[in-house]
Amino acid sequence: MRIIRTIPELHAARAEARAAGATRVGFVPTMGALHEGHLSLLRAARAENDVVVLSIFVNPTQFTDSSDLDAYPRTEEADAELAAAAGVDLLFAPDAAELYPAGYATTVRVAGPLTETLEGAGRGQGHFDGMATIVTKLLLAVLPGTAYLGQKDAQQLLVVRRMVADLGIPTRIAACPTARDQDGLALSSRNVRLSTAERSRALAIPRALEAAAALVAEGVHEVAPLREAASEILAAADVAPEYLAFVVPESLAPVESVTGPVLCAIAARVGEVRLIDNVVLTPTPVPTKE
Amino acid sequence: MRIIRTIPELHAARAEARAAGATRVGFVPTMGALHEGHLSLLRAARAENDVVVLSIFVNPTQFTDSSDLDAYPRTEEADAELAAAAGVDLLFAPDAAELYPAGYATTVRVAGPLTETLEGAGRGQGHFDGMATIVTKLLLAVLPGTAYLGQKDAQQLLVVRRMVADLGIPTRIAACPTARDQDGLALSSRNVRLSTAERSRALAIPRALEAAAALVAEGVHEVAPLREAASEILAAADVAPEYLAFVVPESLAPVESVTGPVLCAIAARVGEVRLIDNVVLTPTPVPTKE
C-alpha cells in the first residue's frame, strides 16, 4: 500500500496503475478513524476492482460546529494498518493546504430539500456545501469507476448521487448497508467519545428504529403510531431527538403513511456526541385472497 | 463534422476518437452566433489537437436579464457551416433539458472579488454561478486536454481558471486575444443588435481603452489621468459606463497606478445592448542610465 499526500502524486499513481492494466478503480472516501463500517466499504471495493483507493481527510469545511471538528478522532497510524490489511492499494491522506490552497474560492452546492432538511436543518447548509465540494474534488482527483458510501449517512448518499448526476462526474455511487455493533449501535467514528452510560442511552436510537420497523411488519402503516412508539423509546432513555423523520427515501419529502419504502431517520445528541441512524421501512404486502 | 445532442453520444464519440488514436482533445465552449472571435479560438484548437469539440449552448442560468436571453442571437445552421469549415470534429449542441433535467439542483460557485466585482456587480452573482456551473458540466462532459477562451471576457477567464484549479478539473485553460472588427469594436454576438448610429457610439469603448494605453506608453502611470481621458471619450459619445475599472489582472483588486500589468475594463450599455471590452496596460520600462 502506498501512502500519497498530493494530487499530482495521486494522478501519477493512477496513470501507473492504468499502464499496468488496471481498469477498474474503486474508491472509498472517509474522514479516517476507520471502523468495521469503513472496512465493509473497502471489502466491497476490493471485490469489484483492480485498484482500491482510500482517502482519509477530516474536511474542515463540512464541520459547522468547530468543537465537533476539534474532537473528531484522528488515528492515522492505526488507519493505515487497517487499510493495508483490507487490501487498499493507494491511501490518499492529504493535508488541508493540499486541497484548499491559498486563494481557494469554489463551492459545489446542491440546493433544495435534499440539503435543507434533516441534517441540513440541524447542521446548516454549510455542512452539505462542504461535503459536496470535497467529494467533487476527491472524485475528480481519483476518477474512480465506482465510489462506495454507507447507507448510515443516507442523506449524504442522496446529495452525492444528485451532485454526481447533475455535474456528470463519471463515477457510479454504490451504497453499502449500515454496519452495527453487536448491541445494535450504528458504527460511527464519533462513538468512541461516548461514556459507558451514554452508550447505553444511545442504544435507544436503533431500538426506536427497530420498534418502528416491527410495527410496520405487524401491518401498522400510519406514521403517527410509529412516531409515538419510537418517541417513547427515546424519551425513556432521556434522548431528545433533533429530528425523528419519516420521509420518501429519494426526495426526503415527509409522509403520513408507509405505502412504499419510507426512510425513518433519527438525529440526537447524547452527551456531547451527535449521532444519526436510519432504517428503510417497507410496507407489508397486502395478503391476496386465495 | 458530427452534430451531437446528448452527453452519452458525446462520451461515445470521444471514446471512439480515443480508440482511433486521438489523444489531444481541444474544446471551445460558446453560446453560438459564431463570429471571427470564436473562429480564432477554433483555429488555435485545430492547430494543437487531434480532435476539436465545439459546444453551442445558450445557457439560460447565466442570464440574469431575461430580455438579454430572449434577444440573444441563435443562428445554428450558419454556425454549423462555419464550424465545419473551421475543422470542428464534434459539434455538441444540446438542449436545456439535456443539461438541466427535472430535479437538477447543483451549482458551482466561485466566491469573492473574482465574481462580486465588475460583471458580478453589474449582472448579479447569478451570472457567474450559472457560467461556472455550465463550464464545469461541459468540461466534465468533453474532458478536453485544453479549453480555449477569449480574453475579451477577461473576468470569465479568471473565474474559469480559479474553478478549474480549485476543483482539479484536468483541463488546461488557454486564453486567446480579443478579435476586433476593422473599426476596432471587439467582436461580440450581441453586436448584431446595434443600429448603425449605436455602433458608431460604441466605438468610443475601444477608443477609450486605446487612449489609456497610449497615455501609459507616453509614461503616464497614475490611474486618475487615464480614467479622465477614457471617461471624456466615452462621454463625448454619450456612453455612460457601468464601470471603467483599473485592476490587478489576477485578483481584480483596484489600483491607483500602473506599476505592473493592469487590466483596464469597461462595461457600457449602448441602446439596449450591454457591451464589454478590456485591454491590459503594461507600464513603460524606466529608461536605464547609460
**pLDDT tens, residue by residue, A88-118:** 999 999 999 999 999 999 999 999 999 999 9
Q: Which residues contact A55 (CB under 8 A, 6 or more apart)?
A: A27, A28, A29, A30, A91, A92, A93, A94, A138, A142
Question: Cβ A168–B107 below 8 Å, yes or no?
Answer: no
pLDDT band at residue A287 under the 50/70/90 scheme: low
* Nearest-by-Cβ selection for A137 from B137, B162, B168: B168
Q: How far is CA B31 from CA A32, A279, B42, B64, in A?
A: 44, 46, 14, 15
Q: Which residue has the cell 471512439?
A: B16
Show which residues on chain B lie within 8 Å of chain A, measured between beta carbons. 7, 11, 103-112, 114, 132, 136-137, 140-141, 162-163, 166-170
Question: Cβ B167–A137 below 8 Å, yes or no?
Answer: yes
Q: Residues of B with CB below 8 A from A114's CB? A: 105
Report the binding-site residues of B for ATP.
31-38, 150-153, 179, 187-190
Q: Residues of B with CB below 8 A from A132's CB? A: 106
* Nearest-by-Cβ selection for B163 from A106, A169, A170: A106
Task: Indicate the pTM of the whole model.
Answer: 0.95
CA distance A31 to A50: 23
How many residues are there in chain B?
290
Distance from CA of A229 to the nearest CA of B (A): 34
Number of A–B residue contacts, CB under 8 Å: 68
* Nearest-by-Cβ selection for A105 from B104, B114, B136: B114
pLDDT at A288 over 80: no
Mean pLDDT of chain A: 96
Candidates B44, B283, B224; CA nearest to B149 is: B44
Question: Cβ A132–B108 below 8 Å, yes or no?
Answer: no
**In this structure, what C-alpha cell is assigned to residue B112?**
469573492
Q: Residues of A with CB below 8 A from B112's CB? A: 105
Q: What is the pLDDT of residue B86?
A: 97
B14: left (phi over 0), alpha (psi -120 to 50) or beta: alpha
Q: In which residue ranges of chain B is pLDDT below 70?
A: 286-290
Report the binding-site residues of A for beta-alanine.
62
Question: Can you tell me whether residue A278 is helix, strand or coil?
Answer: strand
- Tell me, what's the ipTM? 0.94
Q: What is the pLDDT of residue A285?
A: 75
**In this structure, what C-alpha cell is assigned to residue B83?**
464550424
Low-confidence winner among A9-18, A225-234, B202-211 (lowest mean pLDDT) = A9-18
Show which residues on chain A lie within 8 Å of chain B, measured between beta carbons. 7, 11, 103-112, 114, 132, 136-137, 140-141, 162-163, 166-170
Q: Which residues contact A30 (CB under 8 A, 6 or more apart)?
A: A38, A41, A54, A55, A56
Q: Residues of B with CB below 8 A from A163's CB? A: 106
Mean pLDDT across A56-69: 92
Question: Can you tell me whether residue A189 is helix, strand or coil?
Answer: helix
Determine which of A108, A135, A155 to mutate to test the interface with B (most B C-beta atoms within 10 Å): A108
Catalytic residue ranges of B = 38
Distance from CA of A228 to the nearest CA of B (A): 33
Q: What is the pLDDT of residue B285?
A: 75
* Nearest-by-Cβ selection for B104 from A106, A166, A170: A166
CA distance A279 to B285: 71
The yes-or-no answer on residue A38 being catalytic is yes
Q: What is the pLDDT of residue B289?
A: 60
Mean pLDDT across A57-81: 93
Q: What is the pLDDT of residue B45?
A: 98
